[in-house]
Amino acid sequence: MLQSPGFRDCRFRGYWVINMKELLRLKKFSIIIVFFFIAGLISCKSRSIETPSGFAVYKKKDPYIAISPDSVKIRISEIKNEPYGSLPVLIETMKLHFQQMGYVILSSDSLTSQSGMKGHLVQTKVQTLNGTYRYSNAIFMDGNESIILVETGGPEAMFLQYEKDILSKIKTVKRN
């Protein structure tokens, strides 16, 4: 006789009947699965900015990525602020990192997002075998728990075409 866990053979009707205990167990299990699925959707944090003209959104979540036809890229990611660092410490760390990697720091300015997050923008450039590349990196503190990074970059000639629009859109960074 063919047996399956949780099922019993109902010989007089010729079909499978689910035992009530098994049905309740399956129902509880499915409720738990649905709960975790919904909790996962709710907990997915995503960041975005208003997309600058000439850019297409490539990826909307984790991380947000927008790209222009001529290889200028915008990437927004969020990381935990662990070990904890205040905004001034994080800014100095970022600038020191760029200097050690051979980047020239063009400017370093405080900024505030439209949603009120305090941040800082560091603009850099670097000479490579393929030419000069420009990078603008903004760092925002979302409370003390997370850091939002807005990274933009590309070949200098192309980047300069979009620079004003990108810099104005960086201030629109928001949580979705």
Structure-token pair, residue 67: 């790209």
Number of domains in the chain: 2
Task: Tell me: do 25 and 100 sit in the same domain.
Answer: no
pLDDT tens-place string over residues 135-161: 999 999 877 778 888 999 999 999 999
> What are φ and ψ of residue 23, in 5° steps?
-60, -45
Q: Residue 108 and residue 165: Cα distance in Å, rounded?
A: 18
For 29, the domain range is 7-43
Residues 106, 119, single domain; the answer is yes
Structure tokens at 158: 């192309």
169 occurs within a structural domain: yes
- Indicate if 67 and 109 belong to the same structural domain: yes
Looking at residue 52, the DSSP 8-state letter turns out to be P
Q: What DSSP character marks residue 27? A: H
pLDDT in tens, 34-65: 444 444 433 445 566 788 888 888 877 778 88
